Amino acid sequence: MSNIVERLRNSNIKPSYARIKIMEYLMEHPVHPTVEEIYQNLVREIPTLSKTTVYNTLDLFIRHNLARVITIEENETRYDADTTNHGHFKCETCGALYDFTVDEDNLATRGLGDFVVTEKHVYFKGICKKCLYNQ
């Protein structure tokens, strides 16, 4: 809890209750939740919470690099409080999302000569272990 307050303060974000709770939820549920998931779970604890606040707060986090958007899903945007380099795997059978380690720094590319790269994203799709064996 207090480390979350620290995290927010370090980014010059006033640690309001909603902001703390949303960041806490993101960090404790690293399954890349959607706005809907975050809202439905937190509204139990914060009955006055509005979905707009969740959107606003997540946008705030992203502008301050405390969270990232994951665009692996076509319809719904997902959020991730882990801003270090890592890849995402989506199982097309069960829909689950997994993190994996990827060496993005040594990724060989051609055709980006003078471009400034600020974000690198890697995502795979396929079938996860569970779906391969458990049925």
Question: Binding to a second copy (CB under 8 A): which residues in 78-117?
Answer: 87, 89, 91-92, 98-103, 106-117
Q: Is 44 helix (H, G, I), strand (E, B) or coil?
A: coil
- Considering the complex, what minimum distance in angstroms separates the CB of residue 111 from a second copy? 4
Q: Treating both helix axes as pointing N-terminal to C-terminal, what angle do 35-42 and 51-63 enclose, rounded to 10 degrees?
A: 120
Pairing mode, if any, of strands 87-91 and 78-80? unpaired
Task: For residue 129, give the DSSP letter.
Answer: H
Q: Which does 44 bind (CB under 5 to 8 A by kind): a second copy, DNA, none?
A: none
Q: Tell me if 120 contacts a second copy by CB under 8 A.
A: yes
Q: Which does 3 bind (CB under 5 to 8 A by kind): a second copy, DNA, none?
A: none
